[in-house]
A and B are shown apart, each in its own frame.
Chain A
Amino acid sequence: MQSHPPYLSVALLSASALAYEILLMRLFTIIQWHHFAYMVIGLALLGYGISGTLVSIFKRQLLNNFARIYISCLLAFAVASVMGYLLAQTIPFNAEEILWDPHQVVYLGLMFLLLTIPFVLAATAICLTFIQFSPKVPRIYAADLLGAGVGSLLILLLLYWLFPHWLLIIIGIGGMTAAVLAAFELNFSSKNKTIVVGVFLITFLIMLGPFIELKISPYKALTQTMRIDGTEIIDEKSSPLGYLSFVNSDKVPFRHAPGLSVNAKYEPLRQIGIFTDGDNMSVITQYPDSLDKLQYLDQMTSAAPYHLRQLNQILIIGAGGGADILQAKYHHISKISAVEINPQIVNEMNERYAKFSGQLYQQPDVAVHVGEARSFLSGKHAQYDLIQIALLDAFNASSSGLYALSESYLYTVEAMKLYLNHLAPDGFLAITRWIKLPPRDSLKLAATLITALEQNGATSPGQQIALIRSWQTSTLIVKNGHFTEHELLALQNFCTDRAFDIAYTATITPEQINQFNILSEPLFNTAITAMLGQHDDHFLDHYKFNLQPATDDRPYFHHFFKWGSFGEIFRLRQQGGMALIEWGYMVLIATLCISVLLSILLIVSPLWIYRRTRIAGTVNIRRAAVFYYFLAIGLAFLFIEIAFIQKFTLFLHHPITTIAVVLTAFLVFAGLGSLSSGRWLRRFNSRLIVNVAVTGITFLCLGYMFLLGPFFQALAASIVPLKVVIVVLLIAPLAFCMGIPFPAGLNTLNKYADQYVPWAWGINGCASVISAALATLLAIHFGFTTVILIAVLLYLTLLIVHPGFAFSQQHQ
C-alpha cells in the first residue's frame, strides 16, 4: 500500500491538462473560428464533472487497483489529448451551416465527445487521488493548482517559441512523464512496464510530430487564397497573439484595398498577404519608386483627415503591414508614430521584408513601437495632430458578430477619453470601421465618442464630430475643437471626389447626406442627430441593436445583441436574415444552456446511485448543503479570476502578459493557500478556517474594487516588470484565501461522508464550466464590478452553508 500521494505526477498532469485547454483554444481558433472554439472547449471541460459522476458510480472498482488505474488514466490522457485533437480536426464541421444543416450539430457533438475524453481521464485521476489519500487533500489540491499555474505560464511562453500543433506533442509527453513519475511515486509493482510503455509512446509521439498538420476550414480566407494558382506560403510565425501566414501570390496580385472609392482609377501595388489565424488578411506593400504610386491609399475614407489641414505629427494604432503608414507618407507627414501589438509582424517588417517594404519601419520619419496602444499612450505626454485607428478586424468576422465575446479596450469610453487627451489643439481622432447594415459599429462608436466628449466637458459635441461613409467603410472624425467652415468644405470636396457620403456634420442638410451610396433610410444621420439631441435614450431604446457605449467595466464593443429583436431575426433566418444573428452572443448562451443541462444530468445521476447503495452507519448529511457549498465556490473562484483578469488588463494592458500573470498568480497562490490550510485543518475547525478565508476574500475584493482604479492611475507610467510585481503582490493574499474553502470542504466530507467526495469534485467541475460562461454573460450586461460583487456574495453565503454546519447540527 502506498503511503504518499503522487504529488509530482498530479502537478505535471494538472499542468498538462490546463496547458491542453489553452492550446486547444489556440488550435481551434486557427482551424475554425474563435466563437465555436470557445463553445467546444468550454463544454469539453465538463469532463471534470463527468469524472466526478464516474468515480461516484465505479468508486469501489476504481480504487481497488488505484495505482494501475491512476497510471492508466495518465497514459490514456497522453494519447487521447493528441489523438482527440487530430480526429476532431478531421470532422467536416462548418459553423456557418449550423442553421441550414442539422448534421452540423452532430459534428459539433462528436467534436465535444472527442475533446472531453482527455479531460475526463485527467480529472478522474486527480479525483481518485483525493479519495485514496483523503487526509492529504489540501496538499494534493495544492499540487493540482500549482501544477495548473505553472502549466498555464509555460504554454503561453512555449506558444511564442513553437507552432501550436507541435505543442500537442509536448502535452502528450507531459502526460506520459506524469505516468512514469507516478510509477515511482506510488512504488508501482509494474514500474518497469510503465517505463517501457511511457518511453515507447513518447517515441511514437515524437515520430508522429512532423506529420501533424493543421486542417484549416475550407471556408477560411487562407484556404480560399491557397486555391488560387501561384500562391505560396513563404513564412509562418506563431505566438499566443496569432498564427501568422505570409503568402506570396505570383499570378494574381492580392490588391488589398478595402473601402477603395468607386471612382478610383489606380490598382494597389504588389503586396504580400499576412493572414492571422488563417483569416483576417492584411498586407505588406512593396515600397514604390515614387510615392505618387500610393495614390490609391488616398481613395479611402480613412484619408479624409489629411485633407482638412496640414498635419505634422500623427499616431497610427495598429501598424500591421504598414498600409496606414504608407497612406501618411503619401500625404508627406513629417513625424509618423505607430503602435503594433504583435512583435513578430514588426520583426518581419524589419528583417525578412525590410527590402520589399523599403525599410518602411526604419525610415527616419517613422517610429514603430511594439506594444498595446493604451499602454503606449498612458505613459506619454505627447500630443498628436491625428490619431488614426484603422480597420483592425476582418469584415466577415466583424459582420457576423464573432467578436461579441471578445473584450476590446480600444473602443471604450475611457479609451476614447485617453485618445482625446492626447490630441494637439485642433487635432483629429479618426476611427475607421466596416459598414454593417443595419448600421451598428459606426453608430456605437459615435455614441461612445459623444459620451467621452461630454465626460470631458464638451458643451456641443455635435460641432466636433463628422462621420463619412462609403459602401464599405465609415470613418468617424473627432476634432479637438469645433470644425471650421474651411474644414467642412474640404471634407465635402474630399467626399464628392471619391463618391463618399457625409453622414453627419453639424451643418449638413438632409439633401446632402444620401447622394452616392443611397440607403433606403438615412439611418446614420438620423441616429447621430438623435444621440446628440435631448432625448438620446429614446433612439437607443427603440433601435433593434444595442448601441450603448462600451466601458472599461463592460468592454464589449462588438456586442450588439438585444433580446427584444431575437425572435424576429431568428424567424427571418432563412429569408435572408441569417447574417443579422449575432453569433458570438448566441454561442455564449448556447454554451451556458448546454453546460447547465449537462451539469444537472451529471450531478443528479450519482444521487440516484447513492439512494440504492446507502451504506449503513454513514451520516445522513444534508446533500443540499454539500451541493450548494461546492457549487458556490466553483462559481465564485472563476468569477473572481475572470473579473480580475479584466481589472489588471487595465493596468498591464498587454492581453497575453495579463492572462499569463493573473492566471498563474491566482493558481499558484491558491495552491499555497490550500497547502497552508492542511496544517491549520489539523488544529482548527474547518468552519473557522473557511470563515476567516471568506472574510479575507470579502475585504480584499471590496477594497480592490474601490482602490485599484486610483492606485493604477498613480502607477500608470511604471515599467512593465514593476507592474507585474505589483499585480502578483495584489493577487497573492486574495488567491491564498480563495485556495482554502475547497480543501476545507473536502476535508469535512472525508471526515463525515467520504462517498460524497467525487460528487463534490464533479459539482465543482461543472460549476467552473458554468462560471466561465456566466461571468462573461454577467459582464456583458452588468459589468465586471457586478461579477466581483456576486462572487463576494457567494463566498459570504459560505458562512451559513458550510457542509460541516449540517453535520455538527445533526451531531448535536
Chain B
Amino acid sequence: MPAELSRRKTNASRHRSLVLVLCCLLSGPLLADAYRSARQALMEVIEDDVRATSHYLGQDNLDARVLAALASVPRHEFVPAELRSLAYENRPLPIGHGQTISQPYIVAIMTDLVRVEPHSRVLEVGTGSGYQAAILAELVNEVYSIEIIKPLATAAANRLQRLHYQNVKTRQGDGYYGWEQYAPFDAIVVTAAANHIPPPLIEQLKVGGHMIIPVGSRFMAQELLLVTKEQSGKITTRQILPVRFVPLTGQH
C-alpha cells in the first residue's frame, strides 16, 4: 500500500475516533454532526480502497450517487446500540441472530455493480439490518426487501419506517421465489449466502439487469458474483475479487 494512502487512512481513523469521543460528550444536533463527519471520513477510506481495487472492478471510481447514498444513510441507526461507536469503522459488525451488517466498502461495491438508475425497481433478498435497503432507497424509487428471520424482519421494517424510507417495501418470508407480484426487477441484491442461484430470481431479473451475490462467510466476503441477463437472454456471471491482489508475482 502506498505510504500516502496508509497515512491518510490513519488520519481518517484518528479523525473518526476523535469524533466518536465527542459523540459521547455531546448530544442532539451536535451528535448528528459528529456522526456526519465520521461518515465523511469513512467515505474517504472507501474511495481509497476502490481506487486500489480498480484492477478487478474495471473502474477507478464508484458512481458518485452511490457514494452520496453511503454518505447520507446513518449507519449508526442500523447497528446494535452497544456497537454504535464502531458504526463508521470500515468493518462488518454482528447484529444478532448470527447475522451481520456488511463492511461499508463491500456494500459500496455491491451497490455500484448493479448499476441502478432512479427509475429502477430493486429486489433485495436478506434484509438483515435494513442498511443495504436504505442505501438502495436513496438511489431508486422502489426497493422490495425480503427477510427470512422473523425478529430481524420486524426490526428492520420498523427501523426503515422510523427513518422515513417510504420507498422500501419489506416482508418476512422465504426469498427463494423472489417477489413475483413486483417482478421483473432491474437489479437484485442477494445479501445472504446461497448454495446456488435460485432459478426464480434469474427468472425475475429484467433483460439487461444485474444481480449481485457476495460469496464467502459473514465476516469475510471472498468475492462478489455479478449475474447479468444479457439482451440475448444469455446469463453470464462475473466473479469479482474485492481486493487489489493479482495471483502471479510480477503483475500489477
Chain A residues in the interface with B (C-beta under 8 A) = 94, 96-97, 100, 218-219, 223-224, 227-229, 251-252, 255-260, 262-267, 395-396, 399-400, 435-439, 471-472, 499, 515-520, 523, 542-545, 564, 568-569, 571-572, 574-580
Contact = CB atoms under 8 A, between A and B. Distances in A.
A396 B247 contact: no
B91 interface: yes
B236 interface: yes
B28 interface: no
Contacts of A436: 222
Contacts of A219: 98, 217-219
A575 B220 contact: no
A571 B220 contact: no
Interface string B51-72: 0110110100000000000000
Contacts of A579: 216-217, 220-223
A516 B222 contact: no
Contacts of A437: 222-223, 239, 241
A576 B98 contact: no
Given A263-B235, A518-B236, A577 B245 contact: yes
B29 interface: no
Interface stretch (B18-26, B115-123, B178-186, B195-203): B195-203
30 contacts: A96-B218, A97-B219, A100-B91, A224-B98, A227-B97, A229-B150, A258-B196, A260-B199, A264-B196, A264-B199, A396-B217, A399-B215, A399-B216, A437-B223, A437-B239, A437-B241, A438-B245, A471-B225, A499-B235, A499-B237, A517-B237, A542-B250, A543-B249, A571-B1, A572-B244, A572-B245, A575-B243, A576-B103, A576-B242, A579-B220
Interface of B: 1, 49, 52-53, 55-56, 58, 90-92, 94, 97-98, 103, 105-106, 148-150, 174, 176, 193, 195-199, 202, 215-223, 225, 227, 234-239, 241-245, 247-250
Contacts of A399: 215-217, 222
Contacts of A257: 195-196
Contact of B49 (A97, A224, A576): A576
A438 B219 contact: no
Contacts, number: 152
Given A96-B217, A262-B227, A437-B223, A544 B97 contact: no
A650 to B, nearest CB: 33
Contact of A576 (B58, B148, B196, B241): B241
Contact of B239 (A251, A517, A571, A578): A517
B46 to A, nearest CB: 10
A224 B244 CA distance: 31
Contacts of A523: 247
Contact of B235 (A262, A439, A572): A262
A62 B168 CA distance: 70
Contacts of A543: 247-249
Given A227-B97, A262-B237, A264-B199, A542 B248 contact: yes
A396 B91 contact: no
Contact of B247 (A255, A259, A438, A576): A438
Contact of A518 (B103, B174, B198, B237): B237
A436 to B, nearest CB: 7
A575 B238 CA distance: 20
The 7 closest A-B pairs by CB, nearest first: A438-B247, A576-B242, A576-B243, A260-B196, A218-B98, A579-B222, A96-B219
Contacts of A400: 216-217, 220, 222
A586 B148 CA distance: 35
Contact of A252 (B52, B174, B236, B241): B174
Most chain A C-beta atoms within 10 Å of own C-beta, residue among B221, B222, B225: B222
Contacts of B150: 229
A333 to B, nearest CB: 24
A219 B227 CA distance: 26
B148 A517 contact: no
Contacts of B245: 438, 544, 568-569, 572, 577, 580
A471 B239 contact: yes
B244 A575 contact: yes
Contacts of B106: 576
A259 B202 CA distance: 15
Contacts of A471: 225, 237, 239
Contacts of A396: 193, 216-217
B93 to A, nearest CB: 8
B171 to A, nearest CB: 14
Contacts of B58: 520
Contacts of B149: 227-228
A77 to B, nearest CB: 35
A523 B199 CA distance: 28
Contacts of A265: 199
Contacts of B219: 94, 96-97, 100, 219, 578
B180 to A, nearest CB: 15
B195 A256 contact: yes
A575 B223 contact: no
A257 B195 CA distance: 6
Nearest to B222: A579
A519 B238 CA distance: 6
A518 B226 CA distance: 10
Given A543-B247, A574-B90, A575-B53, A96 B220 contact: yes
B249 A260 contact: no
A22 B145 CA distance: 46
Contacts of B242: 576
Given A255-B176, A472-B196, A579-B221, A262 B202 contact: yes
Given A100-B91, A227-B149, A543-B247, A266 B199 contact: yes
A572 B98 CA distance: 25
Contacts of B49: 575-576
Contacts of A395: 195
Contacts of B105: 575-576
Given A228-B148, A574-B90, A576-B49, A438 B241 contact: yes
B61 to A, nearest CB: 16
A500 to B, nearest CB: 11
A668 B146 CA distance: 60
B236 A578 contact: no
Most chain A C-beta atoms within 10 Å of own C-beta, residue among B91, B237, B238: B237
A395 B202 CA distance: 22
Given A399-B222, A437-B223, A569-B245, A517 B236 contact: yes
A257 B176 CA distance: 13
A260 B248 contact: no
A564 B249 contact: yes
A94 B199 contact: no
B199 A518 contact: no
A437 B149 CA distance: 30
A576 B38 CA distance: 21
Given A218-B98, A438-B241, A577-B243, 4 more contacts: A257-B196, A471-B225, A576-B105, A576-B221
A257 B105 CA distance: 30
Contacts of B216: 396, 399-400, 579
A218 to B, nearest CB: 4
Contacts of A545: 247
Contacts of B1: 571-572, 575
B58 to A, nearest CB: 8
Contacts of A576: 49, 53, 103, 105-106, 221, 241-243
Contact of B199 (A267, A435, A517, A571): A267
Contacts of A439: 247
A579 B241 CA distance: 10
Contacts of A472: 196
A260 B225 CA distance: 14
B98 A258 contact: no
Contacts of A516: 234-237
A580 B243 contact: yes
